[in-house]
Amino acid sequence: MIIEGKVGPQTNSDGAVVPPRLSRSGDQVVTDARGRYREAVSRGRVYHACNTGAQAVSAALTTTYTGLAVFNPAGSGHNLSILAAGYALSVAPAAIAPIFLGTSFIAAGQVTLTTQTAIYSSMVGGGASGGVARACSATTLAVAPVYSVPLIGGFTAAALFAAPASFTDIGGIIEVPPGGAAMILALTAVTGFGHISWEEIPLQ
């Protein structure tokens, strides 16, 4: 069976029925046509949170948490697909301090956002969040978090490298359902600025 398509770029409206796009060599084009997350951002589904001031991250897997945490409330009707996370130190650590993106699943339990943090649309000018997620820099977790994705390797002030910051493309490999959370974690106490970006995807 021969699959026919159209060679070259296309400009289409929502709802249009069009042939698949092909390259000049006959390959079907399935690579990113523009920025990787441009479609989701332009449709207002991508949000981010960042500490507004230098914030201490609690050590290890404590439930008395400080840092940057993003919660998906129970009953939100969406999953949070984590796209990226990063961390920038503002104070040299005194002890070996690997930094991670962590997760926790609280299910239907209530979460008290002790110090709430603003969430913004990743469409610049989109304003504060109209999405479902909530963020904070301090909370008490009903369930201890776990380390999920390393962001920065461990080092001390004596071995501080030139640019102690990171930005990791998570690419959706971590997805937070209603009742779950994603957060910045550190093995030992550190202080700095955390960042988490995510797409809010309606449940089918």
Condensed to tens digits (0 to 9), the pLDDT of residues 95-131 reads 888 899 999 998 765 667 888 899 999 998 876 667 8
Which residue ranges make up each domain of the chain? 1-31, 38-202
pTM above 0.85, yes or no: no
Q: Is residue 55 over pLDDT 60? A: yes
What is residue 31's predicted lDDT score, i.e. its pLDDT? Answer: 61
- Give φ, ψ of 104 to 5 degrees: -150, 150
122-135 pLDDT, tens per residue? 998 876 667 899 99
DSSP, res 63:
S
Identify the burial level of 162 via C-beta atoms within 10 angstroms of its C-beta, where 0-12 means exposed, 13-18 middle and 19 or more buried. Answer: exposed
In sequence order, which residues have a C-beta less than 8 Å from that of residue 133 and are 6 or more positions away? 47, 49, 70, 71, 72, 73, 76, 80, 119, 198, 200
Residue 144 has pLDDT above 80, yes or no: yes
- CATH entry 1.10.287 includes domain 38-202: no
The pair phi, psi for residue 40, each rounded to 5°, is -65, -40
